[in-house]
Amino acid sequence: MLMFFIGIFGIDEKQKQITVINNVICPACGALARFEILKTYSYFHIFFIPTFRWNTKYYVKPACCGHMYLLDPGIGREIERGGNPQIRPEHLSPVNAYSPYKTCPACRSRVESEYKFCPYCGSKF
Q: What is the pLDDT of residues 62-120, one digit of tens each?
A: 988 778 899 999 999 999 999 989 999 899 998 865 566 677 778 877 777 778 888 88
| Mean pLDDT, the chain, whole residue set | 83
pLDDT at 96: 66
DSSP class of residue 89 equals G
Quote the CA–CA distance of 62 and 49 in Å, as a whole number.
33
Specify the 3-state DSSP secondary structure of 9: strand
Is the predicted pLDDT of residue 45 greater than 60, yes or no? Answer: yes
- Quote the pTM value: 0.70
